[in-house]
Chain A
């Protein structure tokens, strides 16, 4: 009896330790990655002052000029365009699916939208080249702008489609989790369904919806292949939607394989990776801060 008791205790202890180990491993990965990138990009950090690296717009590595500003701006520009397109569409879709859609419609639409998440990035890129690039060229012509179609807008559209499934799936889940009483009370008081949804349901789901947008945003930041195929990859600060841009992730993907034999270039590319990592971390921290604020306000 005693043996069996001990064995149970041992299993309990073991299970706890193994899970602790797995957690430590998973959560320390990001630290190891950051340290690795820092070590690899050290040569360029020693060579050039940090403000010059970040704020200079001259990118000419073969002449020893490493300015990352155009790439940083490019990253934000493409992501911002994607979010402006994706957020309204996704939230309206999620509200419809959660609040309005009859069962069969919902059951048909959900899996199709989730399927979008499983399409490989390079397929999005190809569709972008074949369909979105010519469409943007035509659109720009309407505005009297001559462009190749490889623009910030094109990258933003492709990226928007890629974050649809994330934002829709999470927002839908969050809105459905709002207790039924929140709907019944306003409707009992004579509000329309739209009033109930707009004034009560989405408000109480707001922190969750914001979390969904943030997740979409983080994905959009680092998305590489699809964007780099349509965004034009010109190291300049885009002045309009119809200008090309060059996001950090595309810079890394375009150059890493070929340039790792040139020490300073190699280091510069890894520094780009470090900037990207820092941006994502900063963004997530800022977003969680805002999220906590919002949650507190609604709790109060």
Chain B
């Protein structure tokens, strides 16, 4: 009896391995779609690019956090995902992260990536394209600081400094500066400086992870320039930043997505301080990688992959109808 069972098990294992070997498998070109599980600015921005959708409309396996999504796509040859540029490029070298490859977007939809559409090799090239508006927005996005009703006191001066002197620290942190006319427009929302204001006290900030490292850097520099000022920053998501700001729990909330109408209705007042972007990525082991890099994907292909689910094959995604 026991011997029989043992034989049965062994033969099943042998058969299954044989079956695995004997099948002359064609290259698997199916697309496996990934998205973010946690509500976040990156997914919200990517969804907005895909025909004004919402994060909840994005299909696919949902993975927690930017690093999780990068890891999942890097490990799956047929995977497609999207990441903040901070998680698609290496912070130190500026090159693409090992295992990941940014998918070029075929902006003029002519079926190939032209020279002026090819700016994904390193971070500085992409940042330049975003700044010059050659990379579409969305998925490029403005990051905001929000407060209740109006900017006032110390936090207003901090925001004013961010929009002027602070902009020179943007590049080194891997974010994208706002264009000059946008900066002027945002500055005009602040109103004139109060000459009687003493540069002494505490500014509290909370909110989006996407903006956190940038604001930390700004705070360091600002505290150097004005030793009497202390900036307290905590991260906890854009929603937390918004709720804290609207309830006057903090002076400034960091927001990495658009401000919803409900929030504006409750008195949210915001300025854009910097830009970053979300980029589509695939695994560097993707069997069709060269074709993908040569022809890129159109916005419609992305919509068919993530929103309508019409496309589930890389070949179909590359080919234009």
Binding site for B on A (CB under 8 A): 59-62, 129, 133-134, 137, 142, 146, 148-150, 228-229, 232-234, 244, 246, 250, 253-263
**Contact for A232 among B62, B75, B238, B246, CB less than 8 A:** B62
**Contact for B260 among A229, A244, A255, A262, CB less than 8 A:** A262
**Contact for A148 among B72, B236, B242, CB less than 8 A:** B72
CA distance A133 to B32 in the complex (A): 14
Chain A nearest CB from B76 CB (Å) reads 6
Residues of B within 8 A of A228 (CB): 37, 64
Chain A nearest CB from B274 CB (Å) reads 20
Q: Establish whether residues A244 and B61, one from each chain, have CB atoms under 8 Å apart when the complex forms.
A: yes
| Residue in chain B with minimal CB distance to A255 | B39
Q: A134-B75, A148-B72, A261-B246 are in contact. Are A234 and B60 (CB under 8 A)?
A: yes
In this complex, the member of B64, B236, B237 whose beta carbon has the largest number of chain A beta carbons within 10 angstroms is: B64
Q: Establish whether residues B32 and A148, one from each chain, have CB atoms under 8 Å apart when the complex forms.
A: yes
Q: Establish whether residues A229 and B68, one from each chain, have CB atoms under 8 Å apart when the complex forms.
A: yes
Q: Is B216 among interface residues, defined by CB-CB distance under 8 A?
A: no
Binding site for A on B (CB under 8 A): 16, 20, 28, 30, 32, 34, 37-40, 54, 56-57, 59-64, 68, 71-72, 75-76, 79, 236-240, 242-243, 246, 260, 262-263
17 A-B contacts (beta carbon < 8 Å)? A60-B57, A62-B54, A133-B72, A146-B30, A148-B79, A150-B61, A233-B64, A244-B62, A254-B37, A254-B38, A255-B38, A258-B40, A260-B243, A261-B262, A262-B239, A262-B260, A263-B262
In this complex, the member of B16, B37, B56, B237 whose beta carbon has the largest number of chain A beta carbons within 10 angstroms is: B37
Q: Establish whether residues B260 and A259, one from each chain, have CB atoms under 8 Å apart when the complex forms.
A: no
Q: Establish whether residues B79 and A142, one from each chain, have CB atoms under 8 Å apart when the complex forms.
A: no
Number of A-B contacts (CB under 8 A): 87
Which applies to chain A's interface (DSSP): helix, strand, loop or mixed?
Answer: helix
CA distance A142 to B68 in the complex (A): 26
Residues of A within 8 A of B57 (CB): 60
Q: Establish whether residues B263 and A261, one from each chain, have CB atoms under 8 Å apart when the complex forms.
A: yes
Q: Establish whether residues A257 and B61, one from each chain, have CB atoms under 8 Å apart when the complex forms.
A: no
Q: Establish whether residues B20 and A142, one from each chain, have CB atoms under 8 Å apart when the complex forms.
A: yes
Residues of A within 8 A of B71 (CB): 129
CA distance A62 to B30 in the complex (A): 30
Chain A nearest CB from B30 CB (Å) reads 6
Residues of B within 8 A of A148 (CB): 32, 34, 61, 72, 76, 79
Q: A142-B20, A146-B30, A263-B262 are in contact. Are A254 and B243 (CB under 8 A)?
A: no
Q: A261-B243, A261-B260 are in contact. Are A233 and B236 (CB under 8 A)?
A: no
Q: A148-B34, A233-B37, A255-B38 are in contact. Are A261 and B56 (CB under 8 A)?
A: no
Chain B nearest CB from A78 CB (Å) reads 14
| Residue in chain B with minimal CB distance to A122 | B64
Residues of A within 8 A of B237 (CB): 257-258
Residues of A within 8 A of B262 (CB): 261-263
Chain A nearest CB from B212 CB (Å) reads 13
Q: Establish whether residues A258 and B260, one from each chain, have CB atoms under 8 Å apart when the complex forms.
A: no
Residues of A within 8 A of B68 (CB): 129, 229
Residues of B within 8 A of A258 (CB): 38-40, 237-240
A133-B75, A234-B59, A261-B243 known, 17 other contacts, Cβ within 8 Å: A62-B56, A129-B71, A134-B75, A148-B32, A148-B61, A148-B72, A229-B64, A232-B63, A233-B61, A233-B64, A234-B61, A244-B62, A253-B38, A255-B39, A256-B239, A257-B39, A257-B240
| Residue in chain A with minimal CB distance to B208 | A258
Residues of A within 8 A of B72 (CB): 129, 133, 148, 150
Q: A129-B68, A261-B243 are in contact. Are A150 and B238 (CB under 8 A)?
A: no
Q: Establish whether residues A233 and B54, one from each chain, have CB atoms under 8 Å apart when the complex forms.
A: no
| Residue in chain A with minimal CB distance to B266 | A261
Chain B nearest CB from A244 CB (Å) reads 6
CA distance A263 to B40 in the complex (A): 17
Residues of B within 8 A of A244 (CB): 61-62
CA distance A233 to B38 in the complex (A): 9
Residues of A within 8 A of B79 (CB): 148
Chain A nearest CB from B36 CB (Å) reads 9
Q: Establish whether residues B239 and A260, one from each chain, have CB atoms under 8 Å apart when the complex forms.
A: yes
Chain B nearest CB from A14 CB (Å) reads 40
Residues of B within 8 A of A263 (CB): 262
Q: Establish whether residues B20 and A234, one from each chain, have CB atoms under 8 Å apart when the complex forms.
A: no
Q: Establish whether residues B37 and A260, one from each chain, have CB atoms under 8 Å apart when the complex forms.
A: no
